Structure 1
């Protein structure tokens, strides 16, 4: 027997919606615009949403995950499992579904946005709407692609997005374009970072940064570390790691010719939290007394610089 659900008193309707899981609420939202608006009566929770290109959207709260995946057959629409994590097929296009869920549940924070740029238009649509809504994006990941045709248009959008915690960039962008990262979340990882120049390094505000396949030279790194020694610069920096073929033994970094490390006993090991990041590093001090540990190794395919800034609260220094 059909039930005139929307004729229920508001308080009763709110209680009914509170006991529904997101899949049930999503199904109801597809009935009508009025039903979709009514679902917000269930109250605003601290929902987060994740988008994985090309076909998965996840919303989560209180350690529960609800996975929406593209259905290959119409008979699979709205089929879901009650396992954790949960999953449900959906008929919408991915971008439409993403914004449908934002609006239906009143989600105001994106936990992760992962794009592989097979369809730059889709990413552009998502990015522009998130920018218009000024929505926080905790983590943004650009997946690896052998040919990123629209690479020249990527960074201007990234710089306008409100990415707060983590930015990861895996693809090898075309060399003929200029790329500039102007805004920095807490953590940055760039795989093919040849385009990340000294100007960007000097302007970063990261806590942790890792640059692979870098073109930064000894001279660049010397400039950066000398600026770091100023008490007012890079107050957030805790960890810097750079792999680059231009790191060599031809010129000094802080008046030291690489390789840079302490040789002999006792051997110093600097532990950052649960990670053992640097062994035999050389202590470097800011003018205000803050200590960083520097190690530069030239062996292997990619010479490597590691720089760890000591935080007395979570760093342990031992001798080996």
Structure 2
């Protein structure tokens, strides 16, 4: 016997919808436009969405629920309760999948958005809507792809997005263009970082920076560290790691010729991480008393590690 669900009092509906998982709420939302509007009575519940190619994951109440595009009409609404996954109808692939879930649940926080530059049109659609709605993105990742010709267009979009925690960039961008990162989340990782120049490094407000395959030189690092040495500069920085073939033994960094290391110093690490540690580093003291630990190794890929001690951790 059908139940006129929407005729119940709003307070009752709110309590009912709060007991539903995202799959149940999504199914209800497809009954009618009125039902779709009503399920938002369940409240925000700290909804968070993680989006990749043809798949999105909703995180709520310490559970993750995976939604994917239904490849065939008969697969629509099919669920796998063991893996907490469900198929939904999406005419335009991952773009529709992303925004259907965003609108259905009234989500205001993207946990992670992973994009592929091989399909720049879909990337652009997602970015523009997120910019218009000023939705926070904790982690933004540009996946490793051979089709990086549209990278020159993605960076202006990246600078308009509200990325707060981490920016990851894996592909090798084409040479001949100027790529600029204007806004800095807490962490950045750039695999092919030849385009991340000294001016961007000097303007950074990051806590953690990893720049691989860089072209920053001894002179660049020396300029950066001398600025860091001044009181009040780079107050957030805790970790800097740079791999660059431009690091050599021809010019000094803070008056020291690489390799820079001290075999009498202890192993210094940042508590709670597995990869942020430095051994045999040279102690560097800032004007305000803050202590940094610097190590520069030479070899096939010369590498700099710089850890800034935080007394609270």
- TM-score, scaled to structure 1: 0.93
Match of 1:75 in 2: 74
Match of 2:87 among 79, 86, 89: 89
Q: 1:221 & 1:166 partners in 2: Cα distance?
A: 23
Alignment of 1:46-65 (within 5 A): 46-52=46-52, 54-65=53-64
- Identify the range of structure 1 (268-277 vs 72-81) with the bigger mean alpha-carbon deviation: 268-277
1:231 to 2:237 alignment: no
Unaligned runs of 5+ in 2: none
- Pairwise mapping of residues 133-144 of structure 1 onto structure 2 (< 5 A)? 133-144=133-144
Return the offset for 1:2: 2.2
Separation (CA, whole Å) in 1 of partners of 2:248 and 2:22 = 55
Partner of 1:306: 305
Matches of 1:154 and 1:141 in 2, distance apart?
12
Following the alignment from structure 1 to structure 2, what is the Cα–Cα distance between the partners of residues 13 and 201?
A: 52
**Equivalent residue runs for 1:16-31 within 5 Å:** 16-31=16-31
Deviations 1:141-183 (A, max 9, x none): 0000112121110110000101000110000000011100011
CA distance in 1 between partners of 2:284 and 2:37 (Å)? 58
Whether contact under 8 Å (2:118, 2:146) holds in the other structure is: no
- CA positional deviation for 1:207: 0.4
TM-score relative to the length of structure 2: 0.95
Instruction: Provide the residue aligned with 2:125 in structure 1.
Output: 125
Moved more, 9-18 or 40-49: 9-18
Deviation at 1:8, TM superposition (A): 2.2
**How far is 1:105 from its partner?**
1.4
| Secondary structure, counterpart of 1:199 in structure 2 | helix
Distance 2:115 2:218 in 1: 34
Task: Give the equivalent residue in structure 2 for 1:111.
Answer: 111
Task: Please say which of residues 190-199 and 104-113 is displaced more in the overlay.
Answer: 104-113
| Distance in structure 1 (CA, Å) of the matches to 2:251 and 2:133 | 48
Q: Which runs of 5+ in 1 are unaligned?
A: 315-320
For residues 150 and 113 of structure 1, the distance between their equivalents in structure 2, rounded to whole angstroms, comes to: 18
Q: Distance in 1 between matches of 2:282 and 2:150?
A: 43
Deviations 1:121-156 (A, max 9, x none): 111111111111111100000000112121110110
CA deviation vs aligned residue, 1:282-319 (integer Å, no higher than 9, x gap): 011111111100000002x21000000011232xxxxx
Aligned residue number for residue 241 of structure 1? 241
CA distance in 2: counterparts of 1:11 and 1:232, whole angstroms: 52
Once the two structures are superposed, what CA deviation does each residue of 1:231-266 show, in whole Å capped at 9, x if it has no partner?
111000000000000000111111111000014xx4
Task: Quote the RMSD (CA, aligned, Å).
Answer: 1.3
Tell me which residue corresponds to 1:152. Answer: 152
Alignment correspondent of 2:271: 273
Q: Secondary structure at the match of 1:11?
A: helix
Aligned pairs, number: 309
Q: Tell me if 1:34 matches 2:34.
A: yes
Displacement of 1:97:
2.4
Which residue of structure 2 aligns with residue 318 of structure 1?
A: none
Deviations for 1:86-143, whole angstroms, at most 9, x for unmatched residues? Answer: 1001111321221222222121111000011221111111111111111110000000
What is the SS of the residue equivalent to 2:122? helix
SS at match of 2:147: coil
CA distance in 2, matches of 1:288, 1:121: 49
Instruction: Please give the alpha-carbon distance, in whole angstroms, between the structure 1 residues aligned to 2:280 and 2:15.
Output: 61
